[in-house]
Amino acid sequence: MQTFAATVSHYKCACTMPVTKRCNARTRAQKCGRLRTVTVQSAAGVLLDRLLGAFGSRPDVAQRQRLRVASAQLLKLLCDAAPDLTRVNQLVDELAGAEGQPFVEESLGGGMWVVRFTRGKPLLWNLTYSTGRLVNSNNRASQEFDPSVRSATNVVELNGPGSYIAAYGSYEAVDDRALTPKTIRARIRSGRLVAGPLALPLPISGSGLFQVLYVDSQLRLFRSGAGALAVQVRADCLGPPAGGSR
């Protein structure tokens, strides 16, 4: 309130400047406008600093920055031909422990996300997917969420991108919590087997829970109900698979 009152008094002081021969109406308006701009910007900066301090946002911002650095390092390692798996696991643990980060459902979108690292057997790939390792093979396991309709698509390649199993379903949040870890329920209702020009329906169905532990624009980390971890990277960050694209 003191800052606001001071701003108002500055407006009055600036606008009552006497008009003289050396200070005509245009000069008066220019000086008044400059003073108003400087005063308002200064007041807004002070108010923002007070708000950030009051709500404790500065430590949160620092933590998010630290997590983004860890995410960028992990992404680079997961794209290397021979990454340091010890360091990969350290970074996965750091992101997995990042509780209390803001969660926005739209962050789950962005097209297909490809599994690049697993620890345990993650949800939704149990049929064919060998896990517990770094995933750099030609056969990709990927997942796509569409927040606008809450649909879920899961794909496991069998022999390159031209042969795969796809499972289709939906997802929903189990509560209104807006922080990580965010618990999601996924339901699979149908599937199909594709082998070149052939496509066969598969009687795939089921449901399960998983948690979103971390997500940014390029990388996300999920934990299944059994405690398995899966790191996914946006497909457009990796480029097309070696065998071509679907």
Give 1-13 pLDDT, tens digit per residue.
443 333 333 333 3
Neighbours of 72 (CB within 10 A): 14
What pLDDT is attached to residue 12? 39
Q: What is the pLDDT of residues 38-69, one digit of tens each?
A: 344 445 555 545 544 444 445 688 888 999 99
For 105, the token pair is 């459902």
**DSSP 8-state class, residue 148:** T
Closest by alpha carbon to 125, among 214, 62, 70, 191? 191
Q: Alpha-carbon distance 91 to 214, whole Å?
A: 12
Enumerate the β-bridge partners of residue 179.
102
For 230, the token pair is 């899966």
Question: Which residues lie closer than 8 Å to 68 by C-beta, 6 or more apart?
Answer: 216
What pLDDT is attached to residue 120? 83
Q: Considering Cα of 67, then 105, then 177, then 182, what sign does the dihedral take? A: negative
**Do 154 and 140 form a contact (C-beta atoms < 8 A)?**
no
178-193 average pLDDT score: 96
Neighbours of 238 (CB within 10 A): 18
Question: Which residues lie closer than 8 Å to 117 by C-beta, 6 or more apart?
Answer: 78, 88, 92, 133, 134, 135, 229, 230, 231
Q: What is the pTM of this model?
A: 0.71
What pLDDT is attached to residue 58? 59
Closest by alpha carbon to 214, among 87, 108, 76? 108
Check whether 132 has a pLDDT greater than 50: no
- Please state the φ and ψ torsions of residue 111, each to the nearest 5 degrees: 85, -160
**Do 160 and 138 form a contact (C-beta atoms < 8 A)?**
yes
Indicate the burial class of 106 (C-beta count within 10 angstroms; 0-12, 13-18, 19 or more).
Answer: exposed
Closest by alpha carbon to 118, among 129, 106, 102? 129
